[in-house]
Amino acid sequence: MIIKKLNKDIKSISVGIFVPAGSAVEGDKERGLAHFIEHMLFKGTKNRTYKDIAEDIDRLGGVINAFTSKEYTCFYIKVLKDFINEGFDVLSDMLENPLIDEAELEKEKGVIIEEINMTEDNPEEAVFDIFMENAVQGNFGKPILGTREGIKSYSREDLLKFMGKHYMPDNLTLSCVGDVDNVDFSIGENTSFKNYFAEQSAEDVDFSFKKGTDVIKRQIQQSNIVMGCDMFDIYDERKYAAYLLNDIFGGTMSSKLFQTIREEQSLCYHISSSVKLFRRGGMFSIFAGTYKDNTQKLLDSVKTELEKLKKYYLTKDELNKAKTYFKGSYMLSLESSYALMVKQGMDTILYGDYVDENKIIEKTQNVTLDDIAEIVDLIDLDKFHITVLGDVEKVEW
């Protein structure tokens, strides 16, 4: 296990254990298993019931939680430094000694299916899942939660085999932030599922984007829209220009999209753009919600803003504004031990070590207008994928 420590003179300590297993590494018969395992590690160990896990952390006034992404799963705690030994004992127990009890597994299937129901009932979340599944071919497009049918079919053996492939000690990264110099964060290798360990085979992780248009009919008042095109992966140095361009175009309240589509035209309550980059690929996307009768008008307005961007690019003043915004928002986002813990864990998985935030700021400060123009040219309107969830029959792009 890789252990990364970042010493900070603060009252809290955050510890996260990162497993390089998210939905992108799941095979066709493993959809949703990474997320299912995230749930099951909270359902009891050889030493604690699920109630004990919750009570032992609540007694400390701390936080214990987990999340599953496309590329990894993270289990974490945040406690006062005075309680770190007790808190870490709970976290390490979950990773070393999970029961994956058959009866609890059957019960948890219902919880996860309710989570799927909740996501599908929330149009803002559902439209993103539909967009990803239709626009991104391969594993990256598959939903993190899996499907109802898949969840219902899984056995204890299925979960343990998945853990045996991805939860080997050599695969784990532990990230801790706070007053951590004299704390032992080691985890033993004699886990309760050791006999399921297997040589991790190279996964065929594909990220391929395709253009198209999806209209999913639903009897709701607002059309929820996601549109976008593909970009490069997280290792591409052009990412700094992409982040700055995104801030100016749709990432802030003063952005072109927000000011034009919401403030001037009053077509929506929320509209924003984002750049999401992964190890195998990336994408630029725009999300908006508008009254169903205004769906086509909003799409036309967004397209007009994109065309203006491609014609006029950015000015020097706009680029300088983006650089200042990025520095302020990025540095402020890292003020908590939790945020730094997540950054350190992700950096270690992606790059092998913590990437100093000042180096990232320096990279953005060196972005030129020519760099921005190169990113703008990658935003190809003819290769966009558009997903609309709402009470409309068809749209045009």
- So which residues are the catalytic ones? 38
Dihedrals phi, psi of 7, to nearest 5 degrees: -85, 125
CA angle 107, 111, 115 (to 5 degrees): 160
Dihedrals phi, psi of 289, to nearest 5 degrees: -130, 135
Name the residue among 18, 17, 16 with its Cα closest to residue 78.
Answer: 16
Paired residues of 77 in beta bridges? 15, 64
Q: Report the alpha-carbon distance of residue 22 to residue 74 in Å, rounded.
A: 10
Measured CA distances, 131 to 125, 128, 198, 242, 385 (Å):
10, 5, 34, 21, 8
3-state secondary structure of 179: coil
* Angle subtended by helix axes 295-312 and 369-378, to nearest 10: 140
Dihedrals phi, psi of 258, to nearest 5 degrees: -65, -45
Q: Report the alpha-carbon distance of residue 12 to residue 271 in Å, rounded.
A: 35
Name the residue among 397, 349, 389 with its Cα closest to residue 119.
Answer: 389
- Amino acid letter, 235: Y
Element spanning 163, H or E:
helix 156-166
Inter-residue contact 53 to 42 (CB < 8 Å): yes
Residues 6+ apart with CB under 8 A from 204: 139
- Amino acid letter, 10: I
By the 10 Å C-beta count (0-12 exposed, 13-18 middle, 19+ buried), 102 is classed as exposed
CA angle 117, 280, 306 (to 5 degrees): 80
Instruction: Using DSSP bridges, classify how beta strands 222-231 and 136-137 pair: parallel, antiparallel or unpaired.
Output: unpaired
Instruction: Using DSSP bridges, classify how beta strands 173-178 and 12-19 pair: parallel, antiparallel or unpaired.
Output: antiparallel
Q: Report the alpha-carbon distance of residue 163 to residue 50 in Å, rounded.
A: 19
Q: Which residue carries 């190890």 as its tokens?
A: 279
